[in-house]
């Protein structure tokens, strides 16, 4: 079955950096578009980043643009989220997700999800 396993979360001070990883198995990773979402306490799931299957296209919301980057290694079946200049409002559980077809920015468009990794940014 399809498994997406996130790692790399933790506690970091404001202004710091973290790199999240998402290891995929059970699917032909190189044919899937990947996304990162986050969910803070009492909030809905929010789009953070997306990357196309061939890494030629990426998408970010204004809230993270210029601070976060997304990349992938199809040989390692892994997608990464590099987060710089972190702010307390970035505190959330971060999830990776996979879908076929084009990249997308809403959670309903994704087919598979990981279990999430906690990111906490202290002020």
Instruction: Dump pLDDT digits (tens) for 27-85.
Output: 999 999 999 999 998 999 999 999 999 999 999 999 999 999 999 999 999 999 999 99
Q: Is 5's pLDDT higher than 90?
A: yes
Please check the confidence at residue 101 and state whether its pLDDT lies above 90.
no
What is the 3-class SS of the chain, one letter each residue? Answer: CCEEEEECCEEEECCCCEEEEEEEECCCHHHCEEEEEEECCCCCEEEEEEECCCCCCEECCCCCCCCEEEEEECCCCEEEEEECCCCHHHCEEEEEEEECCCCCCCHHHCCEECCCEEEEEEC
Average pLDDT value for the chain: 97
């Amino acid at each position: 079955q399809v498994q997406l396993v996130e790692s790399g979360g933790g506690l970091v001070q404001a202004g710091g950096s973290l790199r999240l990883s998402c290891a995929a198995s059970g699917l032909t990773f190189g044919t899937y578009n990947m996304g990162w979402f986050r969910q803070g306490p009492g909030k809905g799931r929010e789009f953070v980043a997306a990357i196309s299957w061939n890494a030629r296209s990426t998408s970010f919301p204004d809230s993270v643009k210029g601070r976060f980057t997304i990349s992938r290694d199809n040989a390692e079946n892994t997608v990464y989220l590099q987060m710089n200049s972190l702010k307390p409002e970035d505190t959330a559980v971060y999830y990776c997700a996979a879908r076929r077809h084009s990249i997308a920015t809403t959670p309903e468009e994704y087919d598979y999800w990981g279990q999430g990794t906690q990111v906490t940014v202290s002020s």
